[in-house]
Amino acid sequence: MFHIKTLNKISPLGMEKFDRSTYAWGDDIENPDAVMVRSASMHDMEMPESLLAIARAGAGVNNIPLDKCAEEGIVVFNTPGANANAVKEIVLLGLLLSSRKIAPAIEWVQSLKGQGAEVGKLVEKGKSNFVGPELKGKKLGVIGLGAIGVLVANAAISLGMTVYGYDPYLSVDAAWGMHTSVIHATSLRDIYENCDYITLHVPCNTETKGMINASSISMMKTGVRILNFARGELVVEEDMLSALDEKKVTVYVTDFPTEAQLGHNGVVALPHLGASTPESEDNCAKMAAEELITYLESGNIVNSVNYPNVSLPKSGEMRFCVLHKNVSGTLSKISTAFSDAGINIENMINGSKKDYAYTIVDLAQKVDAGFAEKLTADPDVIKVRVI
């Protein structure tokens, strides 16, 4: 029986993927084999020894201590692309919100309640306060051309915008999916100096944290509109608020509001709604559940962010899954341990990602599962599972 702990509200369509005869789940599970999480922060959580895997039903994994998990042999998954369409759609809304003064206009219209027959006249008189530019013909900079960035870039081309895209790590798949009219920005400066609108679609990590700051804003066009549906920490808050006060930035649309931003002139704040559609909640939960089922039942790793993706069709009677450090000699130590014990390896596969590696060893015949302890005795071996 596998035990899955849920840390957020996860779509039932995802949880239904777990077979009730072999899985138990809930938010009160102790000593779980796996965790399903959305945005809950796991940084201060004690990781139970039983924990084998964490699946983030979503894209961003900055709420999970990835290195600590890798050190403890806990495989972390996310669900690439599963909520990208929802975010693309809300970014289009963000572009319009940043241009057409829609939010204050709606608020103002509501304030006319009680004016009776005058409402029509007041609307016509007051509407000039809410004039805003069209998107067509304007330049949009997309920073980060992954699952979301590419969809946003393509949609903006359809709206008649000129789109600049920046992503030094662009994947081949993303490049295949991108409209050929997207201009290849070779530096952030290209984006900052040229664009009327800038939208962020990068992960939040040590490289990107605080990337929008006084210095980067100073390179931007006066009046630029900035959209942040990625993570609040990408933007240095004080610098953004000063730039809004100085009218260097016209509007900052954010999905990650803070106390200081609420009510600040030029801030359009949404309550982290990017992925809040039934479709993407279902997609993310289903994908996350499938990743956990695959890992728990077969040891195959698909869509991990801290271990390599390694899959081997199961052959033979017994499988050893070895999570280890990516240091030279470890693989040969693992295979030597098997041969020294007179155990013939039927099939084997290995992969590495940064400091960590994963090896699956299939055996034609069952051996004493205690052999796993021999492998774990190696200081470079982190965890061994026997399936």
Ligand X SMILES: O=C(O)CC[C@@H](O)C(=O)O
**SS in 3 state form for 235-254?**
ECHHHHHHHHHCCCEEEEEE
DSSP annotation string for 155-192: HHHHTT-EEEEE-TT--HHHHHHS-TTSEE-SSHHHHH
Q: Does 277 bind ligand X (CB under 6 A)?
A: no
Spatial separation of the C-alpha atoms in residues 310 and 76, rounded to whole Å: 13
Q: Which is nearer to ligand X, 38 or 225 (CB)?
A: 38
* Smallest separation (angstroms) from ligand X to the CB of 83: 5
Name beta bridge partners: 348: 361
Q: Does 83 bind ligand X (CB under 6 A)?
A: yes
Q: What count of residues does the chain have?
A: 387
230 binds, among ligand X, ligand NAD, none (CB under 5 to 8 A by kind): ligand NAD
213 binds, among ligand NAD, ligand X, none (CB under 5 to 8 A by kind): none
25 binds, among ligand X, ligand NAD, none (CB under 5 to 8 A by kind): none
Q: Does 60 bind ligand X (CB under 6 A)?
A: yes
Q: Which is nearer to ligand NAD, 133 or 203 (CB)?
A: 203
Sign of the Cα pseudo-torsion (150, 153, 156, 160, in order): negative
Choose one: 52-60, 108-116, 178-186, 316-324; the region binding ligand X (CB under 6 A). Answer: 52-60
DSSP annotation string for 51-88: --EEEESSS--TTS-HHHHHHTT-EEE--TTTTHHHHH
Q: Which is nearer to ligand NAD, 32 or 60 (CB)?
A: 60
Select the residue interacting with ligand X from 4, 10, 59, 220 (CB under 6 A).
Answer: 59
* Smallest separation (angstroms) from ligand X to the CB of 57: 6
| # residues near ligand X by CB under 6 A | 9
Select the residue interacting with ligand X from 14, 32, 58, 81 (CB under 6 A).
Answer: 58
Cα angle 296-301-306, degrees, rounded to a multiple of 5: 110
208 binds, among ligand NAD, ligand X, none (CB under 5 to 8 A by kind): ligand NAD
Q: Which is nearer to ligand X, 152 or 322 (CB)?
A: 152
Q: Does 39 bind ligand X (CB under 6 A)?
A: yes
* Smallest separation (angstroms) from ligand X to the CB of 82: 8
204 binds, among ligand NAD, ligand X, none (CB under 5 to 8 A by kind): ligand NAD
Residue labelled with tokens 């996350």:
288
Q: Which is nearer to ligand X, 59 or 153 (CB)?
A: 59
CB 144 within 8 A of CB 230: yes
Two tokens, residue 188: 């952030």
Task: Give the C-alpha distances (Å, rounded to integers) separating 159 from 136, 138, 180.
Answer: 6, 10, 15
Kindly list the strands in the beta sheet with 53-56, ordered across the sheet, starting from the edge strand earlier in the chain: 23-26, 2-6, 34-37, 53-56, 75-77
Q: Which is nearer to ligand X, 193 or 290 (CB)?
A: 290
Q: Does 275 bind ligand X (CB under 6 A)?
A: yes
Q: Which is nearer to ligand X, 79 or 99 (CB)?
A: 79
| 2-6 and 34-37 strand pairing | parallel
Q: Does 276 bind ligand X (CB under 6 A)?
A: yes
| Burial of residue 168 (number of CB atoms within 10 Å: 0-12, 13-18, 19+) | exposed
Taking CB atoms, the residue at the shortest distance from ligand X is 58
253 binds, among ligand NAD, ligand X, none (CB under 5 to 8 A by kind): none
Contacting residues toward ligand X, per CB under 6 A = 38-39, 58-60, 83, 274-276
